[in-house]
């Protein structure tokens, strides 16, 4: 793979530290610097895709305009692909690409959602690359459109794919995502492998997910990554838009672990050299920035419940608990850094029922344009004191949600719930 890759010209370095980003991201967005940065990104490369565009493999592509580049496409092994035939030149083809990570030892495989006719190829890919982690960023069906074929069996059932028996042993539904443990056994050699399958359920179609739920899924993904095994496989429906966001966030966090800095521009440019369709919109680019900042702020905030309050026999707080208190102060200082520039705009003050309950400009708390409501203000902006509260385990019916303001609107439940005016 490395010998075939064709790197493009590296852009001017835009390396940033998280301390700077945490205090300046809102300002950079308001000033238009992030938009200008996205606009200046090099035009996505037009590397050859001759194999993927040939008529013999057309049936293996979910979308005709999202084809892997020839120089880094995944080539199925003859020993694992059940479809390889001396007379069938499409046998080694799968719509999948090797994606570089930040380090030479880090990387990913991006692929489209399997179709009925490519399920065998998909599991051949898993076996031949010794992948032990699969991240699926879509549902089987979204808005009546098929996004991926259900390529795994139900719990306790088996699926025979060529010489490999696939069995789903465990399925743990976490609300916004599902964790599955899938066992693979090769019938000829008897070799057994365990694969973790993560499915994210809370990504609205043609939109962006709520950042906290996306980061929770990413943390789970990172927890199960195993450097000693094969590359993780990530897919959505087309293997680019959603897939690119997860890969980019994980790659940027690896860069921070190595250098204490991140470079969003170089990361996106590098990824665009590896697959078509990454970061087609500015909103996705902005979302990546916010994801990276929040990942840094929250990467050590997950703790078991029993660690919150520990005392000795005399009722005194232990040293460990005292250290936890310091951590809490540090975490709160991070949260307090968030700015409320737009919420405190004098022209929008009538939109706030409580001057002390304001929402930060960082989109981890305020919705992106895709979530914003049509709310008439003198500025002509789409502003409302509301945040998305996305959680798949909540099943709540709402007919109307009154707002005690002159410019009142009625809200119908769609993809998310809204906390309005700071009170739900």
Question: What is the rounded end-to-end Cα distance, in angstroms, of the chain?
Answer: 52
Q: Which residues fall within 8 angstroms of residue 380, CB to CB, at 6 or more apart?
A: none
Q: What is the mean pLDDT of residues 212-237?
A: 95
Q: Are residues 118 and 76 in the same domain?
A: yes
Q: Are residues 324 and 404 in the same domain?
A: no
Consecutive H or E run containing 322? helix 319-336
Question: Domain limits at 117?
Answer: 18-298
- Rounded Cα gap, residues 85 and 277, in angstroms: 31
Whether the predicted pLDDT of 20 surpasses 70: yes
Active-site option among 236, 267, 351, 390: 236
Q: Are residues 190 and 315 in the same domain?
A: no
Residues found in the chain: 424
Q: What is the pLDDT of residue 225?
A: 95
User: Any idea what the CATH number is for the domain that residue 166 is in?
Assistant: 3.90.190.10
Whether residue 328 lies inside any domain: the answer is yes
Q: What is the mean pLDDT of residues 129-149?
A: 97
Whether residue 4 lies inside any domain: the answer is no
Q: Are residues 323 and 381 in the same domain?
A: no
Q: Which residues fall within 8 angstroms of residue 318, CB to CB, at 6 or more apart?
A: 310, 311, 312
Q: Are residues 374 and 312 in the same domain?
A: no
Active site residue 236: yes
Whether residue 293 lies inside any domain: the answer is yes
Q: Which of 21-35, 37-51, 245-259, 402-416 has the lowest mean pLDDT?
A: 402-416
With cut-offs at 50, 70 and 90, classify the pLDDT of residue 25.
confident
CA distances from 223 to 89, 205, 218, 226 (A): 39, 26, 8, 8
Q: Are residues 126 and 239 in the same domain?
A: yes
Q: What is the pLDDT of residue 308?
A: 57
Q: What is the pLDDT of residue 165?
A: 97
Whether the predicted pLDDT of 46 surpasses 60: yes
Whether residue 324 lies inside any domain: the answer is yes
Number of structural domains found in the chain: 3
Q: Are residues 350 and 289 in the same domain?
A: no
Q: What is the pTM of this model?
A: 0.77
Q: Are residues 147 and 283 in the same domain?
A: yes
- pLDDT tens for 375-409 read 444 444 455 555 555 544 444 334 444 444 444 44
Q: Are residues 238 and 384 in the same domain?
A: no
How remote is the C-alpha of 397 from its chain's centroid? 28
Q: Are residues 168 and 237 in the same domain?
A: yes
Q: What is the pLDDT of residue 178?
A: 98
- pLDDT tens for 83-108 read 444 435 568 999 999 999 998 878 99
């Amino acid at each position: 793979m490395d010998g075939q890759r064709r790197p493009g010209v590296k852009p001017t370095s835009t390396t940033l530290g998280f301390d700077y980003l945490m205090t300046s991201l809102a300002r950079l967005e308001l000033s238009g610097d992030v938009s200008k940065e996205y606009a200046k990104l090099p035009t996505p490369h037009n590397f050859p895709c001759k194999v993927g565009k040939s008529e013999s493999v057309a049936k293996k592509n979910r979308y005709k305009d999202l084809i892997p580049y020839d120089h880094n496409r995944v080539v199925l092994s003859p020993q694992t692909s059940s479809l390889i035939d001396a007379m069938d030149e499409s046998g080694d083809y799968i719509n999948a690409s090797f994606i570089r990570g930040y380090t030479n030892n880090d990387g990913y495989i991006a692929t489209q959602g399997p179709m009925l006719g490519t399920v065998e190829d998909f599991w051949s890919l898993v076996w031949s690359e010794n992948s032990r982690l699969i991240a699926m960023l879509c549902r089987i069906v979204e808005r009546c459109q098929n996004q991926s074929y259900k390529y795994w069996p139900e719990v306790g059932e088996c699926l025979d794919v060529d010489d490999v028996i696939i069995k789903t042993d465990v399925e743990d539904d976490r609300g916004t995502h599902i964790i599955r443990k899938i066992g693979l056994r090769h019938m000829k050699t008897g070799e057994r492998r365990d694969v973790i399958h993560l499915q994210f359920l809370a990504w609205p179609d043609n939109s962006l997910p709520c950042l906290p739920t996306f980061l929770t899924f990413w943390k789970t993904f990172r927890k199960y990554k195993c450097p000693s095994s094969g590359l993780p496989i990530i897919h959505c429906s087309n293997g680019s838009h959603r897939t690119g966001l997860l890969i980019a966030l994980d790659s940027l966090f690896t860069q921070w672990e190595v250098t204490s800095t991140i470079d969003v521009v170089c990361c996106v440019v590098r990824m665009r050299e590896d697959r078509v369709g990454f970061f087609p919109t500015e909103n996705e680019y902005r979302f990546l920035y916010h994801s990276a900042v929040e990942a840094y702020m929250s990467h050590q905030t997950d703790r078991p419940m029993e660690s919150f309050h520990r005392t000795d026999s005399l009722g005194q707080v232990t040293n460990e608990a005292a250290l936890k208190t310091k951590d809490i102060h540090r975490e709160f200082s991070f949260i307090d850094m968030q700015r409320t520039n737009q919420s405190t705009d004098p022209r929008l003050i009538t939109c706030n029922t409580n001057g002390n309950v304001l929402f930060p400009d960082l989109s981890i708390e305020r919705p992106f344009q895709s979530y914003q409501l049509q709310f008439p203000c003198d500025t002509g902006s789409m502003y409302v004191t509301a945040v998305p509260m996305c959680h798949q385990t909540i099943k709540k019916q709402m007919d109307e949600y009154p707002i005690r303001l002159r410019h009142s609107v009625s809200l119908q439940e769609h993809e998310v719930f809204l906390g309005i005016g700071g009170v739900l």
